[in-house]
Amino acid sequence: MRSQLHTRIVALLIGLVLAAQLATFVVVHFATERSVRSQLSDELEVGERVWQRFHGARGEQLLETALVLADDFGLRAAVASGDPATMDSALRNHASRVGADAAILLGPDGRWLAGLDGTGPDWGGAALSQAVARAESEGFALAVLPADGRLHQLALIPVMAPQRIGWVGIGSTFDGAYAGDFRALTGLDVSFVQAGQGVLSVYASSLEAPAREALAALPAGELAPGEALSDVALGEEHWFVRALALEDSGEPPVQVLLQGSLDQAMAPVASLENRILLLSGLAAALALLVAGFLGRGISRPVVQLARAAQRVQDGDYSQPIEVAGRDEIAQLAAAFGHMQQGIAAREARILHQAHHDGLTGLPNRSLAHERLERALGTVRGAVLVLDLDRFKEINDTLGHGFGDQVLEEVGKRLRQAVRPGDLVARLGGDEFMVLMADVDGERAMQRARDLLGQLRRPLDLPTTRINLDASLGLALHPEHGTDAQTLLRRADIALYDAKEARAGVAVYREGRDEVHLRQLALVGDLRESIARGQLSLRYQPKVDLASRQVRHVEALLRWRHHALGPVSPDEFIPLAERSGYVHEITRFVLEAALAQNAAWRAEGLDLGMAVNLSAMDLMDADLPGFVQSTLRRHQVPAARLILEVTEGALMRDVDYAVRMLHRLREIGVRLSIDDFGTGYSSLAQLKRMPVDEMKIDKSFVMQLIEGSDDAVIVRSTIELGHNMGLTVIAEGVETDSGLELLRRFRCDMVQGYLFSPPLEAGALLDWCRRFEDVEA
């Protein structure tokens, strides 16, 4: 795999090399071009001077030749003779001797006398006339003149005999050979041109034909004399041109164009540049190679690091990070390695903390769950859940510091007491779990008892000695469950049972879980029971033994659950208390019972209405207010309402209960101690209770037989009640013999199936009427 880093290093290096090469190329290109250009214009300057010499030398040579000719006796004689044929042949002889291109003889006044082929009376035209005029004043003249389509340099010298008898002119043409000579001398091309009608007429040139044609096509105004022009395009080539006006060449003046080819001058540079380009290519290729190796060299450790970082991110700290060498990357790798170890250690610590209890160092609930799940393979075993008794008390009275020490100690004792391979965990608070491997029910029970024995040893703390106690619940694998959750829940239920029974250790009993689940379902549905109209009241009469009349009825609640059918208040009232919903239920019952009472009163039936309060209702500070307003709303006298509170509820918090009873009593309602005999109240406590009546619990009454323990209890309870000025009621009266005894014991009222079960309102009315008829 090619890493991104690697690719970038390669790209960067190649980019750098190419940029450097390009910069070199550009610099070289422009520097050399500039130097070539300045060299070329220098050459043109030099060429100009050479031209002056070159041109001047030929002029002098022409003058000399002309002098020699003018001095020649034969020629002088021929001129003096005035005979054209003689003049003509003499001129011809002499001219061919000196190799002149043109030769003319003029009269003293400049009139044409004779000339070589191609000359005639108007040869040279105005330019010649000017030259003659100059020669007359200066004694000789050198002139450049175009004639018969060619360009000539002409030297004019007088022919004296001894007076001036004429002029002799010797000319040389500016032709290709002449231009070629100059070119051979200087390496510069030369052209002789004259501005014509809009274009240049080129008389001669050393240029090749295409360039020469391009020159002829140039606009005439382009080339001003004395000027150096750069970059004149002639055909395909570029030129530097320097124009010189030839003196004495008439109007417009003939120009000599000195020309240096830029392209030719640049040719060696171009080949140099090509070589640079080639080298650049090679260098780039080399750079590619080097970058490849270098990039891999640099990127490989970085890539290794990146992969290592990815592994760490994925949570794998096991592989060491190794990068060879001693450079920064290797150092970085080493630092990274340390970091990885640090992270691994920290993670292990965090993991440990997440799975262990900080106080005891034992596995916590989630780890216990996990271990339990793993241990539940094929082996038999038992899950034991343990809860300290009175731990809240220890915490509250001795402080949390002591509480913590107790928990630590319990953890230690458990660890010491279990066998190797067993698991001890703290589930939370004062709840611990022990997983016992490979035990059956009997052995598990035995070991649970041993454990409890260990835990019960008193604990000596620096300032105090604490007696520890605990309750233990057992669930067996696989009998009571095959998954951790079920086993833990069932062990919990067993623990609950153990606590209820104060038994120390309890094993899960078949079916308890179902009760538990049913309770969960009931608690969930209870809140909707009122709204769904599932709650209703039944009424059970209490009969006054002295008057043989129905004085009171007790309202008893019924719940018809939509799926489960009738649910007993003995089952759902405790659930309502635990879920805090009981206040609503009590209000519902008070409301319905008083409404019913008012209805009966309207029909002429004046009954006392007994309503049961739960223990939680005694904590409801708003209850007296509610009772009062409901009484008022239904216009029921307060004395007609009897509130029954169980002895057990009153004993939970005696002070609070007494205060609440006083508040209720102030309203004017009657108060009754229900289920009397089951609540372990002392006489002193009883005396503080502002109550009006006492209901002997039905467990003493139902099988009441003369001479039994129950009879003794019932009799003394009735006496006790009467001594305290209370009305005494016996509930659960089922037999005539029992009723007979109660009569004898002077019990004030009776209630029970012997008379009537709890009835619907209408049925109760009928029953009352029938009862009165019978008794009457």
Binding site for Ca ion (CB under 5 A): 612, 644, 674-675, 731
> Out of Ca ion, ligand C2E, none, which partner does residue 557 contact, by CB within 5 to 8 A per kind?
ligand C2E
State the minimum distance, in angstroms, from the CB of residue 672 to ligand C2E: 10
Closest alpha carbon to 103 in 92, 112, 113: 92
State the minimum distance, in angstroms, from the CB of residue 663 to Ca ion: 21
Identify which of residues 265 and 576 has a Cβ nearer to ligand C2E in the complex.
576
Own/partner long-range contacts of 649-654 (Cβ < 8 Å, ≥24 apart): 649/613, 649/614, 649/615, 649/618, 649/679, 650/618, 650/679, 650/681, 650/685, 650/689, 651/679, 651/680, 651/681, 651/685, 652/615, 652/618, 653/618, 654/685, 654/688
C-alpha dihedral (360, 363, 364, 369), degrees to nearest 10: -160
Is residue 732 within the footprint of ligand C2E (CB under 6 A)? yes
Distance CA 78, CA 486 (A): 156
Q: Tell me how crowded residue 164 is: count the other CB atoms within 10 A of its CB.
A: 14
Cis peptide before 252 (omega within 30 of 0): yes
Q: What residues have CB less than 8 Å from 506, skipping those under 6 apart?
A: 471, 472, 473, 474, 494, 495, 497, 498
State the minimum distance, in angstroms, from the CB of residue 499 to ligand C2E: 22
> Out of ligand C2E, Ca ion, none, which partner does residue 710 contact, by CB within 5 to 8 A per kind?
none
Identify which of residues 166 and 732 has a Cβ nearer to ligand C2E in the complex.
732
Tell me if 656 sits within 8 A of 679, measured CB to CB. no
Handedness of CA 744, 750, 755, 757 (dihedral sign): negative
Identify which of residues 263 and 528 has a Cβ nearer to ligand C2E in the complex.
528
Instruction: Provide the mask over 528-567, with x wherever binding to ligand C2E is found by CB under 6 A and - wherever it is not.
Output: ------------x---------------xx----------
Identify the residue among 612, 672, 681, 717 touching ligand C2E (CB under 6 A): 612
Identify the residue among 225, 235, 569, 574 touching ligand C2E (CB under 6 A): 569
Identify which of residues 147 and 749 has a Cβ nearer to Ca ion in the complex.
749
Identify which of residues 33 and 571 has a Cβ nearer to ligand C2E in the complex.
571
Tell me if 248 sits within 8 A of 265, measured CB to CB. no
Is residue 570 within the footprint of ligand C2E (CB under 6 A)? yes
The gap from C-alpha 356 to its chain's centroid, in whole angstroms, comes to: 32
Is residue 734 within the footprint of ligand C2E (CB under 6 A)? yes
State the minimum distance, in angstroms, from the CB of residue 526 to Ca ion: 20
Instruction: Provide the mask over 656-695, with x wherever binding to ligand C2E is found by CB under 6 A and - wherever it is not.
Output: ------------------xx--------------------
Distance CA 505, CA 523 (A): 28
Identify the residue among 573, 631, 711, 726 touching ligand C2E (CB under 6 A): 573
Crossing angle of helices 582-602 and 623-634, in 10° steps, is: 20
Identify the residue among 568, 629, 708, 716 touching ligand C2E (CB under 6 A): 568
User: How do strand 670-676 and strand 641-646 relate by DSSP bridges?
Assistant: parallel
State the minimum distance, in angstroms, from the CB of residue 679 to Ca ion: 11
Identify which of residues 147 and 573 has a Cβ nearer to ligand C2E in the complex.
573
State the minimum distance, in angstroms, from the CB of residue 315 to ligand C2E: 57
State the minimum distance, in angstroms, from the CB of residue 612 to Ca ion: 5
Tell me if 260 sits within 8 A of 43, measured CB to CB. yes
> Out of ligand C2E, Ca ion, none, which partner does residue 614 contact, by CB within 5 to 8 A per kind?
ligand C2E
User: How do strand 381-388 and strand 470-477 relate by DSSP bridges?
Assistant: antiparallel
State the minimum distance, in angstroms, from the CB of residue 664 to ligand C2E: 14
Own/partner long-range contacts of 266-270 (Cβ < 8 Å, ≥24 apart): 266/32, 266/33, 266/36, 269/29, 269/32, 269/33, 269/36
- Find tokens 């001398």 and name the residue: 185
Identify the residue among 62, 76, 698, 764 touching ligand C2E (CB under 6 A): 698
> Out of Ca ion, ligand C2E, none, which partner does residue 753 contact, by CB within 5 to 8 A per kind?
ligand C2E
Distance CA 614, CA 649 (A): 7
Identify the residue among 679, 758, 761, 767 touching ligand C2E (CB under 6 A): 758
> Out of Ca ion, ligand C2E, none, which partner does residue 573 contact, by CB within 5 to 8 A per kind?
ligand C2E
State the minimum distance, in angstroms, from the CB of residue 718 to ligand C2E: 18
> Out of Ca ion, ligand C2E, none, which partner does residue 474 contact, by CB within 5 to 8 A per kind?
none
C-alpha dihedral (27, 30, 32, 37), degrees to nearest 10: -160
Identify which of residues 357 and 617 has a Cβ nearer to ligand C2E in the complex.
617
Complete DSSP assignment for 169-202: EEEEE--HHHHHHHHHHHS-EEEEEEE-SSBEEE
Identify which of residues 236 and 570 has a Cβ nearer to Ca ion in the complex.
570
Give the binding site for ligand C2E (CB under 6 A): 540, 556-557, 568-570, 573, 589, 612-614, 644, 674-675, 698, 702, 731-734, 752-753, 758
